[in-house]
Structure 1
Amino acid sequence: MVQPLQAGDPWSEEPPQPGRDSESTWSLSSFDSSDMTTVFGEHLQPSQMTEVLLVAIEALASDDASDRQMGSSVVDMAVRDPAGWLTDVPKVTRSIHRTVERIQSEPARHSLDSLLLLLIKWCSEEVVGSLLKISPACDSAALAMWEVMLSVPWALWNVLMELLNVLQDQKLRKVFSSATEDACIYPLFLLVCPGVDPEEFAALYKAQRYLRHPSPLMLSLVLRVLLTLSESPEMARRMPVLVPDLVETLQDASADVQTKALLFFRNLLVHLKQEEASLIALQLAEKLLPLFDDECSQLRELSISLFREVVKAVAKQGRNKKKMALQVRRVLLPLLLHVADRSESVAQASRDTLASCAEFLGWTRLSSLAETCETRLIGECLLAPDRSRAEEYLRQSLPYLKDSQASLREAAASFLGLAAQRLRNLSQEKRWEICNALLPLAKDPELSVRSVAAHTVSVLTLTEWSPTWRWRLRSLGCWLC
């Protein structure tokens, strides 16, 4: 059983830091990879090989490519022969913790991840106990290590078993900051326990609602576990009971948590039966729209792509199409504008999702246009059906005039001009509101945005305006009046 950290405990002492010395790293890189196995195997004791491994781990973060390559070679040797190299697991774990955040090279990170997974397979109790003692509050380096250990199903099982043992020791419950967070481990354990069927797990979860108020850190770890488990159809079918609480994580959470939640929901929609998937899709639909405009391009792409899967899930089941249609109409204008997103992957996701939404609504022309980049024709298609919907699109487009992306500001200004041409009987009050929103773009740093905004104001002021309205526009410094 893991013991808590005490004063004078050797865990609290800073271990030697091989590799910080440039000579140590140089001595490692002086070996030719072809003779390392022979040299280390014949001339070094296991404890000395562990010290070499510590130098190799440090070398993974080196700026020198040859040092990183040699470090990877040694780490890979240790993975192939753990009995010879891993004589001091706590020291190796501490070395990984010290180094993991400084590794920038993908091959070097792959070598370190392989070593960490090997450690979990080789001696999971020591690794989990060591990491909890090194970072009981779970700093960012520890979180990066947990992420690796929780990302593979067999490693996840080992970690959960060890954490369960830790939580049964009252002296070690301080590892987590509250009883609520401790309790998060138990439903995760029950999820993978073959003796608990989905109905029993659902009843147990509903009685406790473990995931309602975990800390952001615990929520991130829990979602990493759920994301790994949800890749299995059998595990995914146990999880619908978690959805109402996890849907709420899409609001006011970190980008990391939101990303994991979106990937988790994507897995569920794939693996669940049509009726269950349709009900979850309805819960998700209105929560996804705010993420379309997130600063993080990955979140924009994931949320837009997931909305497409949401639409498909409801279309297959058929029973909730009327409710879903209301949500689909709300996203059409944001999707049109994001066709101009500076991220090509977001722009492509927007085109694909717009096509799926049009197909869902039975709008054949829009469905075919969505596959093109003809945004003006798409805009005309959106404005055609009825006036009330067109005015709603006008309202939705105004906030995009302040978007951080110049391409979206330009797209919004262009759409407003198109709408003004199509809706010639707009009230003067509505025209005033639009012009007022466009005026700041007179000083936009992008010439194309200034030009499109000026053209839109020109379109809006073509009709007969009263002297009072003309004076109000001039008083605002309208660059065309």
Structure 2
Amino acid sequence: QKLKFLASVCSVCSTISMDSTVWNNLYFCQLEVVETVEVLLQEEPTDQLSTTVRQQAMLAIAAMRAAPKTLSPSQTLAAMDSMLQSLVCSAGTLGVMELQNIYQVLLPFTSSQPALVQKRAMARIARLASFITTCPLLQCSKTQQFVMLGKLVGHLTLCCTCKDKGTRHEAAEALHHLHTFIVQQLTWLCVPLWLHSQDALGDALGDKFPLLTFVLQMFTKYLQPSDQVEIILIAIKSLKPPSAYSISLASHMVDVLAQDSAFQMGQVLNILWTIYGNLPYIKVVVALQSLDRVLLALTSKYPSEVVASLLQCSPTCTRALGSHSVAVTMWKMVFSEPQAAKKVLQELISILMNQSLRKTSTSTKDNPRILSLAATRTITEILLHPTCLREVDAIFPQLFLALLFQVSFTTELTLQEVQIFWKEHQQDLFTPIRSAVQSMRVLLCTMGFESQVLAIEAQGGWNALHSTQTHLMGVRIVAREMMKTPRPLRYAIFSHLAELLSVEDPTWEMVAMVFLVEMLGCTDLSEDLDRALKIFPMYLRSQCLGMPSLVLRGILRLTKMPDMVAGGESGGHGEGYHPCGRLLLYKKEVACFPQAKKSLVLLPYVMEQLQSDESDARAAALPVLGDMLRLLEGKTSSHTTLELAEKLRPLFDDESDIVRELSIRLFQNTMELVVGAKTKKMKKKVWDSLVPLVLHLHDKDNNVAKNPPPCPQLPFSHCCPDGWGGTCAPGGGGSISASHQASQEALCSAGRLLKWGQLVQLADTAQAWRICECLLARNRSKAKDYLYQNHPYLQSPQEHLRWEAVRFIGLIGRQMNEDKEMEYVTEVLEDARKDISPLVSSLATQTVLILRPRR
């Protein structure tokens, strides 16, 4: 019924020109109609401005005002003022909200409208502003704040520059009343009203800039940062033509308010978004200069907020503005001032380094991984238009490493994250990973390192960076080429790497450590190596897969550097290298400088790696320990060597053939290093290691060191009395393993240490069975110990070792006289009869049958 009534009013008014009698029926009751419309509006919810009834009521009022023979315009407008005032008063405690709703409707009519409409709308705002100063029931509260203050002040101040004098006057009057109302609401501030009289405001209209200064003096104590942001946004939007206001005043408003305001992240983002959206349409020089100053002012005070906001506005810098993109134009504004450029570059580096794996939002606002992609793209665009080369040069090490880490991050992006960032770049040939690599290339070329770029390309380094499988290889290639840069730059990169690695961060620590370890090949960084020595212990205990072994390779480089160890050239294949290419232990004494001894602080941490769960770490630790032993002196040397020898014994049976070989070789070296009173203890450890060394003469791993003559297939009776075991060893003759060769050499050294010439002779010819017999013949009391040492080898994954262990146990059984000991031998052999290998089980069965009569 309400809508029908309002629609009928509109219909009557629209037919007046054709039938005047219709209007005569309405003319004498139009005041009642207006009052009825007012009642209908009062019944509408005050928090909903766009209800159908409210819209239809406004249309009815407009239709009545446009009808001929109606009330005069002044009477109609007066009626409208009365109606609006009634709406505010009737809202009760929600009066402030209703007031703001009305202002929200009226403000659009003050711009981009015919001059008469602007004037009438401004008059309504002024009349309403005057009314609210006399309405005692209208009060703001904590729950109902006057949030439209900034928007009103902005619009009214700009309207004071309109061409129409009446509109300017109404705007000044509205500002005066608005100020009075705000002071009334904040009486606790005790602001004297006479300082801001209406006459004084009128006098200020003579000049635009004094007007702005006066307005800000009026409201400066009441404008919150959010209000100031509203004014700035209104002013920025007024900079694009056609504008009903003074562009000069709007520019000055932006300048003044942006200088001294305190904004939050979201407010800075709103300002940047508004600039970004309106910049393509702003052509006036004074306006563009104002935006330059605003961006620089905001950057100076809020660099992180500005950078984050710009990245969110255009992650891929694609929106066109002439020959450049809008974002690139804004970035160039920011980089036009050296101090601002320095701050922005630091913020971009911070974003590149901020890779929280826990944040995986599907929007650019919350996802640091996507923002870092945007930062990478931005850096590329900025470097293509170099305006800040000096600032880039000052932080080149940090920027270079941040981009390198970004390449690593990009290889780990999910498909969803790639699509989020790259949806604007479907036509671009660069994928995110290629874009990140391109940024590195552009940076190096811009800073004059074209030769390094070409060298990395020739070695396939750039392509290697694209894949997760070859990424670290690409990092090594890049690091090797960067080692050819001037020493000050190498030093800066090395120092920054050490600084970064001083705090563990799983997102980039592996790449950083690979680069740092590669740089240890620089022979002129010796005075800076203390920083590496401080961080290595933390990463030796890292849970990151592959990190301990990587650090150990770095420590090995330290011990072999020319300025650390004299007597050999780094990189040469001398005695420190295995024939197959593996790093082994130095055989000769080396003359060491004091600098080399600093690495000994890492000795306890390196020894811990012998118990590591990673075979690579165990293998990498052994050569390092060999070099460190050479640096020890006096009692410390012998004590540490004995301790190490004890830890090496379990590694003889390691699952890794490399670890077995290197541990045996290092054990051999420990025999040669112990001197003085500690020799007796070393001999005991050597005696306890003879059986494992003998058994490993039969080791058949895949690392072939040499091809000895085939072992003759002799009957077992030729080696064992009484025709024992006619079964030949599994596999017969053929190639032997590196562990076999290491065991053979270790047994020779053991014979020399024990002064047992026969052992040296037998070991030199690899007569394992004869060595077993000699061990029992030399000391029968240790037969039981030998039995216990053989037992674990029955579980060896190598068939050869299990077979030899059964043979040795049978030989030991011949030396046993007590029934209890024979029972244990028989029990062990009975278990061996269940072996999956027919050869091993058959030999165990034969041995049990031979030993049974003795039992």
Which bracket does the TM-score occupy, shorter chain normalised?
Answer: 0.5 to 0.7
Please identify the structure whose Cα radius of gyration is greater.
Answer: 2
Q: Select 2:506's aligned residue among 102, 114, 137.
A: 137
Write out per-residue CA displacement over residues 178-220 of structure 1, whole angstroms, 9 at most, x where no aligned residue. Answer: xxxxxxx9763569xxxxxxxxxxxxx9xxx868955456544
Q: Return the alpha-carbon distance in structure 2 between the equivalents of residues 403 and 339 of structure 1.
A: 14
Structure 2 match to 1:8 = 371
Cα deviation for residue 271 of structure 1 reads 4.2
Structure 2 counterpart of 1:307, which letter?
F
Q: Return the alpha-carbon distance in structure 2 between the equivalents of residues 239 and 417 of structure 1.
A: 48
Structure 1 match to 2:666 = 306
Q: Select 1:150's aligned residue among 506, 513, 517.
A: 517
Query: Is this contact kept in 1: 2:671–2:682, CA < 8 A?
Result: yes
Query: Is this contact kept in 1: 2:744–2:763, CA < 8 A?
Result: yes
Structure 1 counterpart of 2:555, which letter?
L
Write out per-residue CA displacement over residues 316-350 of structure 1, whole angstroms, 9 at most, x where no aligned residue. Answer: x3331011112111110000111000121001101
Secondary structure of residue in 2 paired with 1:137: coil
Q: Select 2:840's aligned residue among 402, 425, 449.
A: 449
The answer to whether residue 800 in structure 2 is matched with residue 400 in structure 1 is: no
Write out per-residue CA displacement over residues 439-471 of structure 1, whole angstroms, 9 at most, x where no aligned residue. Answer: 2333433333223222321232121x4xxxxxx
Structure 2 counterpart of 1:445, which letter?
I
Structure 2 match to 1:167 = none
If each structure's helix is expressed as a fraction of its own residues, which one has the higher value?
Answer: 1
Q: Return the alpha-carbon distance in structure 2 between the equivalents of residues 160 and 146 of structure 1.
A: 19
Query: Is this contact kept in 2: 1:100–1:144, CA < 8 A?
Result: no
Q: Return the alpha-carbon distance in structure 2 between the equivalents of residues 419 and 435 of structure 1.
A: 11
Query: Is this contact kept in 2: 1:160–1:189, CA < 8 A?
Result: no
Secondary structure of residue in 2 paired with 1:362: coil
The answer to whether residue 790 in structure 2 is matched with residue 437 in structure 1 is: no
Cα deviation for residue 136 of structure 1 reads 4.7
Secondary structure of residue in 2 paired with 1:319: helix
Q: Return the alpha-carbon distance in structure 1 between the equivalents of residues 780 and 819 of structure 2.
A: 16
Structure 2 match to 1:254 = 614
Segment drifting more, 321-330 vs 213-222: 213-222
Write out per-residue CA displacement over residues 353-406 of structure 1, whole angstroms, 9 at most, x where no aligned residue. Answer: 111112111111112111122111000111122233221011110111111111
Q: Return the alpha-carbon distance in structure 1 between the equivalents of residues 852 and 684 of structure 2.
A: 33
Segment drifting more, 236-245 vs 452-461: 236-245
The answer to whether residue 763 in structure 2 is matched with residue 370 in structure 1 is: yes
Structure 2 match to 1:238 = 598
Write out per-residue CA displacement over residues 215-272 of structure 1, whole angstroms, 9 at most, x where no aligned residue. Answer: 4565444423322111233343223343234322212442122122111111123344
| Identical positions, percent | 28
Structure 2 match to 1:283 = 643
Write out per-residue CA displacement over residues 48-75 of structure 1, whole angstroms, 9 at most, x where no aligned residue. Answer: xx99xx79x9xxxxxxxxxxxxxxxxxx
Structure 1 match to 2:467 = 99
Structure 1 counterpart of 2:784, which letter?
E
Structure 2 match to 1:321 = 679
The answer to whether residue 508 in structure 2 is matched with residue 117 in structure 1 is: no
Matches within 5 A, 1:200-219: 214-215=542-543, 219=548
Structure 1 match to 2:652 = 292
Segment drifting more, 318-327 vs 400-409: 318-327
Write out per-residue CA displacement over residues 131-165 of structure 1, whole angstroms, 9 at most, x where no aligned residue. Answer: x89x95157xx74774464145344987996xxxx
Segment drifting more, 3-12 vs 355-364: 3-12
Tell me the number of residue pairs that the alignment of Structure 1 and Structure 2 aligns: 357
Structure 2 match to 1:224 = 553
Matches within 5 A, 1:58-97: 82-83=449-450, 86=453, 96-97=464-465
Secondary structure of residue in 2 paired with 1:86: helix
Structure 1 counterpart of 2:372, which letter?
D
Segment drifting more, 266-275 vs 210-219: 210-219
CA change 1:99–1:145 in 2 (3 A) is farther
Query: Is this contact kept in 2: 1:236–1:272, CA < 8 A?
Result: no
Query: Is this contact kept in 2: 1:149–1:159, CA < 8 A?
Result: no
Q: Return the alpha-carbon distance in structure 2 between the equivalents of residues 457 and 320 of structure 1.
A: 42
Segment drifting more, 354-363 vs 288-297: 354-363
Structure 2 match to 1:337 = 695
Structure 2 match to 1:381 = 774
Q: Return the alpha-carbon distance in structure 2 between the equivalents of residues 333 and 351 of structure 1.
A: 12
Aligned alpha-carbon RMSD (Å): 4.4
Q: Return the alpha-carbon distance in structure 2 between the equivalents of residues 286 and 445 of structure 1.
A: 33
**TM-score, normalised on structure 1?**
0.62
**TM-score, normalised on structure 2?**
0.37
Higher relative contact order structure (alpha carbons within 8 Å, sequence separation ≥ 6): 1
Which runs of 5 or more structure 1 residues have no equivalent in the other structure?
Answer: 19-49, 58-77, 162-184, 192-204, 466-481
Query: Is this contact kept in 2: 1:151–1:228, CA < 8 A?
Result: no
Q: Return the alpha-carbon distance in structure 2 between the equivalents of residues 186 and 236 of structure 1.
A: 11
Q: Return the alpha-carbon distance in structure 2 between the equivalents of residues 335 and 151 of structure 1.
A: 36
Query: Is this contact kept in 2: 1:285–1:307, CA < 8 A?
Result: yes
Secondary structure of residue in 2 paired with 1:239: helix
Structure 2 counterpart of 1:188, which letter?
A
